[in-house]
Amino acid sequence: MLEFRNISFHFPTKRNTIDVLHDVSFTCGEDEIVAVVGPSGCGKSTLLSLATGLRKPTAGDILIDGRPVKGQNRLIGMMFQQSTLLPWRSVVENVELGLEIRGEPKSFRRDKAVTLMRQYGLGGFERKYPHALSGGMQKRAALAQTLAMEPEVLLLDEPFAALDAQTRVVIENDVVKICRAGKRSVLLVTHDISEAISMADRVVVLSRRPGTVKEIFDIPFSRGAKSVADVPAMPEYATYFKRIWDALDISVTGMNETAA
Ligand SMILES: Nc1ncnc2c1ncn2[C@@H]1O[C@H](COP(=O)(O)OP(=O)(O)O)[C@@H](O)[C@H]1O
Ligand SMILES: [Mg+2]
C-alpha cells in the first residue's frame, strides 16, 4: 500500500519559495487504482516524483507497506506522458532496458521481455525499431518496459493523453487488468474526469497551487464494468462526473496555472 501522510512541498527559488503542495494525505491500497485530478500546475507531477523517492517532501511521509520511500526504489514503476523508447535500440531491447540496468542476466531479461511483448500484442515486433511502431504500440512497449520490473506500485502521469480514442481504451483496460491481476497499487494522474471515473476506485481532487486535497470520491460502480468504455453509459456516471467537476471548480477559476 502507498500512503501519503501530510505531504507538503516547497520549491526554493532565488528570491523566495513556491508552495507547491500543502498537507496532502491519502492512500492507494493493494489492488486499488487511485486517480488524482486537479488544475494544471497544482503539483500532480510533483506528487508522483515525491512518491518515487527521488525527491524529498518538505514535510510529511510517503510510505510503501508502512516503510518510508527513499532513493531508488525497486517497488515503484513510473510512466510519463512523454515516456519514449530509445530510437537506437530495438523494441525488445527497449522492453528489457530496466532489467538490464538492474543487472539481470541476458537470457532472463530477454525471455521476460518477449513474453510481455506477446501479452501486449507486440509479438513479431521484437527486432523492429521504435519508429516502425504506431503510437499505441510504442505506448504499450513503454508500459511493458515498466511492468517488466514488476513494480508493486505503478505511477502513471497522464500516460494516455496523446493516444487515439480506441488505442486509449485498449491500454486503459490493460492497466486495470494488470492492477487487479497483480494486486498492484496504481496511482494515475489525469486531467480527464471521464478516465478517472472509468478506471479508478477512488478519485482525489486537488485544489489549485498549493495543491491540497479538496475532496476524495469513492467510485463504487466502475469496478464491475467489463471495459472502461462501458462506464460512461452506467447510470451513476453523470452524477459522479458532475460532483467531481464541481469540486474542481474549473468553470470559475479556469484550468490555467498562475505565474510562480
Ligand atoms: N523545477 C522547478 N522549479 C520551480 N518550480 C517548479 C519546478 N517544477 C515545477 N514547478 C512548479 O511547481 C508547480 C507544480 O508543478 P507540477 O507538479 O508539474 O504541476 P501539475 O503536474 O499539476 O501540472 C507548478 O506551478 C510549476 O510551475
Ligand atoms: Mg503534470
Domain for residue 141, yes or no? yes
**What pLDDT band is residue 257 in, cutting at 50, 70 and 90?**
low
Torsions phi, psi for 8 (to 5 deg): -125, 150
Could you give the CA distance from residue 1 to residue 85 in angstroms, rounded to a whole number?
A: 29
Q: How many domains does the chain have?
A: 1
pLDDT at 167: 82
Task: Give the structural domain span for 123.
Answer: 81-150
* Binding site membership of 42 for ligand 1 (Cβ less than 6 Å): yes
pLDDT, tens digit (0-9, with 9 covering 90-100), for 108-149: 999 999 999 998 889 999 999 999 998 888 988 998 998 888
Domain for residue 95, yes or no? yes
Lowest mean pLDDT among 44-58, 105-119, 221-235, 245-259: 245-259
Domain for residue 112, yes or no? yes
Grid cell in block for residue 25: 494525505
β-pairing, 2-12 vs 59-64, is: antiparallel
pLDDT, tens digit (0-9, with 9 covering 90-100), for 186-235: 999 998 999 999 999 999 999 999 999 999 999 998 888 999 999 999 99
- Which has more pLDDT, 35 or 78? 35
Could you give the CA distance from residue 50 to residue 63 in angstroms, rounded to a whole number?
A: 11
* Binding site membership of 209 for ligand 1 (Cβ less than 6 Å): yes
Ligand 1 centroid, distance to 169 Cα (angstroms) = 29
Lowest mean pLDDT among 86-95, 179-188, 247-256: 247-256
Domain for residue 135, yes or no? yes
Atom of ligand 1 minimally distant from the CA of 257:
25
Ligand 2 centroid, distance to 83 Cα (angstroms) = 13
Inter-residue contact 187 to 30 (CB < 8 Å): no
Domain for residue 132, yes or no? yes
Q: Which ligand is nearest to the CA of 82?
A: 2
- Which has more pLDDT, 15 or 127? 127
Q: Examine the pLDDT at 55 and tell me if it is beyond 60.
A: yes
Q: Is the bond leading into 68 cis (omega within 30 degrees of zero)?
A: no
Q: Whose CA is nearest to atom 8 of ligand 1?
A: 46
Ligand 2 centroid, distance to 109 Cα (angstroms) = 31
Answer positive or negative: Cα dihedral of 43, 46, 52, 55: negative
Ligand 2 centroid, distance to 42 Cα (angstroms) = 8
Domain for residue 26, yes or no? no
Q: Whose CA is nearest to atom 14 of ligand 1?
A: 43
Beta bridge partners, 156, equal 79, 188
Q: Examine the pLDDT at 90 and tell me if it is beyond 70.
A: yes
Full-model pTM:
0.89
pLDDT at 69: 86
High-pLDDT (> 90) share of the chain, %:
61
Domain for residue 166, yes or no? no
Inter-residue contact 180 to 173 (CB < 8 Å): no
Domain for residue 168, yes or no? no
